[in-house]
């Protein structure tokens, strides 16, 4: 029997999902650590939010742990545990652990059977179409908005209840006179009759307006037909001067193409003329600069010769210088004359 009890315990623990493998050899000698671990796991499996201290290092901690587990299982699951056998932590403790595991195993099996029955009987009951529930959702939202608005109006009316209560009590306490009631009823009847007459007049007016609108619609339809016929006739008839207009338009197109070509040539020639004038101006400026440089050099040479010359041979040197200067000046004058002539010829 002990072996059968232990095999049932191991099978139940494996079915419940205990992470470790439990064998019979673990309980040949007292193994309080394994028993405490199994107890704590079973308590957490029964209620995950259970507050059981896991400290089992000293004797006092172990005793407190066993008492806490036994008290919890007695109050929550109505299972009486033998604390002495649990404290021994041997084969006798397995019988006490089997009490808790059998309850959890039975609950798991019954829950699985219920789920299987439900799935086999009618799984379509729990399948609902979202499309069919959209209308209900819209109606629920509308009702919620109406409830909030009605609640706000009710709150406002309840706030006015103090004033209305006094007026209501005064009107109830006042004695009812038949003559006044008859007058009020006659006035109300007259008002209702006036409203009825107004509605009748409005109905008659609506009929007249409808007839007028129909007449206007018919008139507009006739006008539309006439305008469409006129448009068709205008589209079919060719204007008198259309041939001449087309010929003139062709000639204008040709003249425009000629004008574009001449305008393009004119702009090209103007650009060439501007380039030629620019080159001539640059050449003239270069010749003027060269002449200015040559004049400045000649003046510097004359000053240098005058400073370096002596009084004895001054006449000879002056004559030679005058000859050289006159020759240089003649050459410069000839260059000045030839430069613009060449430019003009170019």
Q: Quick: pLDDT tens for 142-176.
A: 898 899 889 888 888 888 888 888 888 887 777 76
* In a domain? residue 66: yes
Q: Which helix (H) or strand (E) holds 182?
A: helix 178-236
- CA distance linking residue 115 with residue 121, whole number of Å: 10
Residue 121 has pLDDT above 80, yes or no: no
- CA distance linking residue 18 with residue 26, whole number of Å: 15
User: Total structural domains in the chain?
Assistant: 2
Place of tokens 């008659």: 204
Whether residue 104 sits in one domain with residue 2: yes
* In a domain? residue 271: no
Higher pLDDT, 317 or 31: 31
| Beta carbons of 53 and 68 less than 8 angstroms apart | yes
The pTM (predicted TM-score) of the whole model is: 0.34
Single out the residue in 63, 81, 108 at which a domain terminates. 108
17: left (phi over 0), alpha (psi -120 to 50) or beta: left
Q: Which two tokens stand for residue 207?
A: 């009929």
* In a domain? residue 29: yes
* In a domain? residue 323: no
* In a domain? residue 204: yes
What number is the average pLDDT over the span 267-275?
Answer: 95
Domain that holds residue 91: 1-108
Single out the residue in 213, 244, 275 at which a domain terminates. 244
The size of the chain, in residues, is: 346
Residue 346 has pLDDT above 70, yes or no: no
* In a domain? residue 136: no
Residue percentage of the chain with pLDDT more than 70: 81
Confidence grade of residue 316 (pLDDT, cut at 50, 70, 90): very low
* In a domain? residue 254: no
> How many alpha carbons fall within 13 Å on the CB side of residue 204?
6
- CA distance linking residue 155 with residue 166, whole number of Å: 19
What CATH number has the domain bearing residue 7?
A: 1.10.418
- CA distance linking residue 183 with residue 181, whole number of Å: 5
Instruction: Quote the strand ranges of the chain, DSSP E.
Output: none
- CA distance linking residue 92 with residue 167, whole number of Å: 85
3-state DSSP assignment of residue 344 = helix
* In a domain? residue 63: yes
């Amino acid at each position: 029997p002990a072996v059968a009890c232990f095999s049932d315990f191991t099978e139940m623990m494996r079915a419940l999902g205990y992470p470790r493998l439990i064998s019979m050899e673990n309980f040949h000698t007292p193994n309080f650590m394994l028993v405490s671990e199994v107890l704590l796991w079973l308590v957490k499996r029964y209620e995950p939010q259970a507050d059981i201290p896991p400290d089992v290092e000293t004797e006092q901690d172990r005793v407190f742990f066993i008492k806490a587990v036994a008290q919890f299982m007695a109050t929550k699951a109505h299972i009486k545990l033998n604390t002495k056998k649990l404290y021994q932590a041997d084969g006798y403790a397995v019988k006490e652990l089997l009490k808790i595991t059998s309850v959890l195993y039975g609950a798991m099996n019954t829950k699985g059977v219920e789920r299987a029955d439900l799935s086999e009987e009618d799984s379509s009951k729990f399948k609902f179409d979202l499309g069919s529930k959209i209308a209900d959702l819209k109606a629920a939202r509308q009702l919620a908005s109406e409830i909030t608005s009605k609640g706000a109006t009710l709150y406002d009316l309840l706030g006015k209840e103090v004033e209305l209560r006094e007026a209501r009590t005064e009107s109830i306490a006042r004695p009812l006179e038949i003559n006044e009631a008859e007058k009020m009823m006659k006035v109300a009847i007259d008002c209702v009759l006036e409203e009825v007459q107004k509605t009748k007049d409005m109905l008659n007016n609506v009929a007249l307006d409808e007839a007028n609108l129909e007449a206007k619609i018919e008139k507009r339809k006739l006008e539309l037909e006439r305008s469409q016929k006129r448009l068709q006739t205008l589209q079919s008839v060719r204007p008198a001067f259309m041939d001449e207009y087309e010929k003139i338009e062709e000639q204008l197109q040709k003249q425009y193409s000629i004008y574009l070509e001449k305008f393009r040539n004119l702009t090209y020639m103007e650009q060439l003329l501007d380039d030629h004038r620019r080159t001539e101006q640059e050449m003239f400026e270069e010749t003027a600069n060269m002449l200015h440089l040559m004049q400045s050099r000649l003046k510097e040479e004359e000053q240098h010769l005058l400073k370096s010359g002596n009084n004895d041979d001054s006449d000879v040197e002056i004559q030679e210088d005058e000859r050289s200067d006159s020759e240089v000046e003649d050459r410069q004058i000839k260059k000045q004359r030839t430069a613009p002539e060449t430019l003009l010829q170019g």
